[in-house]
Amino acid sequence: MDANTSAQLMSILQRYVFNVANLQGMLRMATPVILAGLCALITSRAGILNIAGEGMILFGAWFAVAGSYFFQNAWVGLLAGILSGLVVGGLFALFSLKLRAHIIIMGIAINTFANAATIFMTRAVFKMAGAFADPRIQGLNPIHIPVLKNVPILGQLLSGYTFIVYLAWILIILTTVFLYRTPWGRHLRAVGENPQAAETLGINVPRVRFAAVMASGVFASLAGVYLSLGHLKMYTDQMAAGRGFIGMAVNTFGAGEPVGVFLASLLFGFVDMIGYRLQADSLLPPYFVSMLPYVATLLALTVYTLRRRRAAKSALQAASNEE
């Protein structure tokens, strides 16, 4: 490689990858995916297939804006969003676990219902169609971390985000601690891995699952709150845009581990961010940028599964060679 091409390569890398603004964008765009991923994680670790995350995100986003609008306070908005997550999660758990509705049918119905209900409520309550923005809606303010914010690159990279970005990071740590260092976490894993065995050990399986679904509602609603108050301060119909399902994919890549979910979400944030850069430079036609996260999900799922298969196969071969 001659000096000219390597200089060009460096400038491309700088433009698209190694600059602070890009990495900030990546961390921001990863946030709702992290939270949606945790929503999928907590239920999948309890052995529940919860596809209702998408609907829960939508409700969270809507109620956050409603709370913030009526009380002109972002924290009330946050609270309203979380409450909606608890209510929707609770209803989902009640119907699918207690009243034995088929959980996938329930999930499909909740997602479609959430879509219709939020469009209906936007028109009924705010008298608006499609989107709702108003100066009365207070967004969450950026937090500037003292001391850290003055450190040259690190300060820019890690300081100045809104509360939910930090909360998502903290929740990754808390979920790890919860899963592996607390008795409740052990119970949850036991229920997910072998419900019969868990039951004989005296664990109240239905109660653990109910709690897991409620928790997933809170995680998903936080993702929604971030979408409507964390960055833009407005509500748009269907603003969840498939993140509930991308969260499920991220949980797969992360192998059900919180740290794995975090890393996989960063990858998604990165794809999102680079798409916008490419569009800004007219290197990618419009609409293809919007398509990117979904294409990336399909590609990543395929590559991930193929690699895991290959790994399993070679492990099997190694085992048979030893004999």
Q: 93-126 as b/e, with b when 16 or more CB fall inside 10 Å? A: bebbbeeeeebeebbebbbeebbebbbebbeeeb
Q: Which listed residue (8, 184, 285, 314) binds another protein by CB under 8 A?
A: 285
Q: Which listed residue (11, 150, 290, 314) binds another protein by CB under 8 A?
A: 290
* 310 CB-contact burial (10 Å; exposed 0-12 / middle 13-18 / buried 19+): exposed
Q: Which listed residue (245, 253, 268, 270) binds another protein by CB under 8 A?
A: 245
Q: What is the DSSP string of 263-300?
A: HHHHHHHHHHHHHHHHHHTTSS-TTHHHHHHHHHHHHH
Q: How many CB atoms lie within 10 A of CB 90?
A: 14
Block residue for tokens 């990071």: 169
**181 sits near another protein (criterion: CB under 8 A):** no
124-163 footprint of another protein as x/- string (CB under 8 A): x---------------------------------------
Amino acid at 156: Q
Q: Which listed residue (7, 12, 21, 104) binds another protein by CB under 8 A?
A: 104
CB of 195 or CB of 242, closer to another protein:
242
**297 sits near another protein (criterion: CB under 8 A):** yes
Nearest by Cα to 34 from 305, 206, 239, 249: 249
Task: Compute how many residues bind another protein; rule: CB under 8 A.
Answer: 42
**271 sits near another protein (criterion: CB under 8 A):** no
**117 sits near another protein (criterion: CB under 8 A):** yes
Per CB under 8 A, residues contacting another protein are 51, 95, 98-102, 104-106, 108-110, 112-113, 115-117, 119-120, 123-124, 241-242, 245, 248-249, 285-288, 290-291, 294-295, 297-298, 301-302, 305-306, 309
